Structure 1
Amino acid sequence: MGIDFHKKDNQTTYTTRQADHTWMEAMKELVPSMNTSKATDIGCGGGIYAKALADMGVPSVIGVDFSQAMLVGAKENCKEYHNITFKQGNALDTGLDNDSFQLVLERALIHHIQDLKACFQEAYRVLEDKGIYIIQDRTPEDCLLKGDNCHIRGYFFERFPKLKEREIKRRHSNELVVETLKEIGFSEIKEVKLWETRNVYEQKEQLIKDVQERTGRSILHELDDGELNELVNYIDKSISTESPIVEKDRWTIWKAVK
């Protein structure tokens, strides 16, 4: 019952947010020479992170996504950015030229990919020598952290263990990611953890409303409306503060060099 990325109704699903400064600071640490890079954002969705790369000084960014509907939203989202272009493709067959990018970004993508080896091979192909590959996703350990006033996502799995089973099944372990990167030929592999700010709410009521109306709610698409209301009530009772609430998600980022 997951979100259909090809439906026209969902083309703005991932265009309404902006990349947080916590993410930008992490990227600057990992890729210090952004302003000399030609980058591709594979699995770009609504263009949020393609736009962030451009804002950080990347001179040329190409966003790639398999969904034409998503690309329509991304183009509208980035219409003021003349250094960002988009093309349809997928992580196993981007259609990009060989050895043509200094930076490849794949954020929140690999949990949709079963064949990691083919995905990583495609990134290796399009990178220049010494090019940097950035993968950002959640490991099973990231997903199973307890819920608290900042880590709202943890409450999803506490209230509905069936979501936990589905989440673990689609997430790749750190060990598998690192082993596969090495197998493809990547070197200088580095793993970092990031608590990325998702949103800031002045009052708890704003958070509750956001969860109820969350369009890019991913794993929550597994819940029906009644279950979603149960979850909202559970979160409401579990959070011990009224304001402000800084919602954060825990991610793993892997950096590798061709």
Structure 2
Amino acid sequence: MGSRCAEEQEGLSFVAGNATDTSLPSGAYDVVFQKALIHHLPDPAKAFAEAKRLLAPGGTLIVQDRTMEDVRKPGSSEHLRGYFLRSFQNFWPLKNSVAPSRKLLLPLFARSGFLRYQRLN
């Protein structure tokens, strides 16, 4: 779907590859978007460092993923996952092993060279 969408937008492309070693040119991109990625990686800092390498000066890394704080929110109309997790309690051990916490992620951003952080809801 992403590539089909990109065909309709001049100057936009989607590339699938290894998030920790893309082989794309350094400093060539205004935005790097990591969606639902970091909870799959053993070392998210490597993906953040690669994003930093790819970004042009002043570029933006957008990370959209779940954290343990997000996973533990109660169910509501804005957070349907909370209902799911309450109903399927055996899912919790798996979630605890893959969803990083904000407390863990913020130092990884800094070590990768990202000095500003903005959380959007």
TM-score higher than 0.5: yes
Question: TM-score, with normalisation over the residues of structure 2?
Answer: 0.86
Alignment match, 1:131: 59
2:41 aligned partner: 113
**Could you give the per-residue CA deviations for residues 191-238 of structure 1, whole angstroms, max 9, x where no partner exists?**
33x1xxxxxxxxxxxxxxxxxxxxxxxxxxxxxxxxxxxxxxxxxxxx
2:97 is equivalent to residue 181 of structure 1: no
**Correspondence list, 1:1-258, <5 A:** 46-47=1-2, 75-192=3-120, 194=121
How many aligned positions are there? 121
Distance in structure 1 (CA, Å) of the matches to 2:56 and 2:78:
39
Distance 1:137 1:88, change over 3 A: closer
Q: Supply the distance in 2 between the matched residues of 1:151 and 1:86 (Cα, whole angstroms).
A: 28
Code of the residue aligned with 1:89 in structure 2: it is G
Q: Residues 114, 161 of structure 1: CA spacing in aligned structure 2 closer, same or farther, 3 A cutoff?
A: same
Highest relative contact order (Cα 8 Å, sep 6+), 1 or 2? 2
Q: CA RMSD in A?
A: 1.8
Q: Which runs of 5+ in 1 are unaligned?
A: 1-45, 48-74, 195-258
Runs of 4+ in 1 over 3 A off after TM superposition: 76-79
Letter of the 1:181 counterpart: F
Alpha-carbon contact 2:6-2:14 (below 8 Å) kept:
no
Instruction: Name the SS for the 1:84 alignment partner.
Output: coil
- Which piece of structure 1 moves more, 88-97 or 146-155? 146-155
Show structure 2 runs of 5+ residues with no match. Answer: none
What secondary structure does 1:103 align onto? strand
Q: Tell me the percent identity.
A: 33
CA contact (8 A) 1:156 1:163 kept: no
Q: Secondary structure at the match of 1:190?
A: coil
Give, in whole Å, the separation in 1 of the partners of 2:62 and 2:37: 11
Partner SS state of residue 85, structure 1: coil
TM-score by length of 1: 0.43
Structure 1's 151 and 131: CA in aligned 2 closer, same or farther, altered over 3 A?
Answer: closer
- Separation in structure 1 between the aligned mates of residue 105 and residue 51 of structure 2, nearest angstrom: 14
